[in-house]
């Protein structure tokens, strides 16, 4: 079993966030409490594999190893009565800062469910970079393959209305600087994993290298095609499971079709299994000629931010 290491960037950095909210904004519903630890890079590491503070997989004596690639951000959340119109200054009654990013959220969810998770990504060279790395480690996520770029850390501004619906504006920062070489340095961990999970936040060349490495090693690869951006078409032939939401699925189509037909067309392009999240309408999925739908569990939405990330993780 590999040791749980620190990213080299964080070894030389210090960050104290004892007065800040240090929780992953994308997965608040899974948190038992909001953590506000003093995050200092020289402190001892959290428990290693096999002694996770989170739940283990029922019936599995060994924790499955999952390799996740994607973004790691600072999230700034503003709770509003309604999204402001252009030219209007809106006073926000509540504001929160936390950690997020699709990839980081998915890694944290998997770790909280008991998996042994390694995260591949980029953070900034500012004070937020080591804070993100430390919080990932607090959550039980390995950060051996997190490196820093000479850029501000990726940031997301989240406008949340009273119904729990959100509008999100992001600045990718160093997240788009992940390279093929970064992936190759993580080859042993990719090959030793039970599953690879990635989003389209990872640049195309690095994403192709990641999925090729997984395919050659016989490791199942899951793609969450978000955000809906252009990516190499050959990527889909390397995907085992594709998990878009409805708008992301339809964005992959060449012409307008319904969700069921879009699922069939997407499977024809490579993924053996397609699972589409439909919000309050549940999910549609297919791993054969048939398309099935499952209803959602009825809930009152408080904050929809990161719901898809939690589903993928």
Active-site positions read 309
Tell me the C-alpha distance between 262 and 244, whole Å. Answer: 11
Reported in sequence order, the residue ranges of 267-307 that DSSP labels E, i.e. its strands, are 273-277, 283-286, 292-294
> How far is Cα of residue 51 from the mean position of the Cα atoms in its chain?
23
C-beta separation of 154 from 172 below 8 A: yes
Tokens representing 273 are 């299994």
Q: Which residues contact 283 (CB under 8 A, 6 or more apart)?
A: 275, 276, 277, 293, 294, 296
Which structure tokens are listed for 249? 């699925």
Angle CA 73–75–79, to nearest 5: 165
Alpha-carbon Rg for the chain, nearest whole angstrom, is 19
- Whether 68 contacts 219, CB under 8 Å: no
The token pair that represents 4 in the structure block: 């749980």
DSSP annotation string for 177-241: G--HHHHHHTHHHHHT-SEEEEETTS-HHHHHHHHHHHHHHT--EEEE--S-----GGGGGG-SE
Please state whether beta strands 273-277 and 283-286 pair in parallel, antiparallel, or not at all (unpaired).
antiparallel
Would you say 27 and 108 are in contact if contact means Cβ atoms under 8 Å apart? yes
């Amino acid at each position: 079993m590999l040791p749980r290491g620190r990213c080299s960037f964080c070894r030389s950095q210090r960050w104290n966030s004892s007065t800040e909210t240090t929780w992953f904004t994308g997965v608040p519903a899974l948190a038992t409490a909001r953590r506000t630890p003093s995050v200092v890079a020289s402190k001892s590491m959290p428990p290693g594999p096999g002694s996770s503070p989170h739940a283990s997989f029922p019936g599995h004596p060994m924790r499955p190893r999952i390799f996740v690639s994607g973004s790691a951000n600072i999230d700034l959340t503003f709770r509003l009565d309604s999204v402001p119109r252009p030219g209007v200054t809106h006073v926000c009654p509540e504001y929160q800062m936390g950690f997020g990013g699709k990839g980081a959220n998915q890694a944290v969810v998997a770790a909280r469910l008991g998996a042994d998770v390694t995260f591949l990504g980029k953070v900034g060279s500012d004070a937020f970079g080591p804070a993100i790395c430390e919080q990932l480690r607090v959550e039980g996520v390995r950060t051996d393959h997190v490196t820093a770029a000479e850029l501000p850390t990726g940031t997301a501004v989240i406008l949340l209305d009273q119904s729990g619906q959100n509008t999100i504006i992001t600045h990718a920062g160093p997240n788009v600087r992940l390279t093929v070489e970064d992936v190759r340095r993580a080859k042993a961990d990719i090959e030793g994993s039970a599953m690879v999970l990635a989003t389209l936040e990872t640049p195309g060349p690095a994403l192709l290298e990641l999925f090729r490495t997984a395919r050659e090693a016989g490791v199942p690869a899951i793609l969450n095609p978000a955000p809906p951006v252009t990516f190499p078409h050959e990527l889909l032939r390397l995907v085992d499971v594709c998990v878009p939401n409805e708008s992301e699925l339809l964005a992959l189509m060449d012409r307008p079709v319904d969700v069921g037909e879009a699922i069939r067309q997407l499977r024809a392009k490579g993924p053996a299994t397609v699972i589409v999240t439909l919000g309050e309408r549940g999910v549609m999925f297919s791993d054969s000629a048939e398309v099935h739908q499952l209803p959602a569990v009825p809930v009152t939405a408080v904050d929809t931010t990161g719901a898809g990330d939690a589903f993928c993780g």
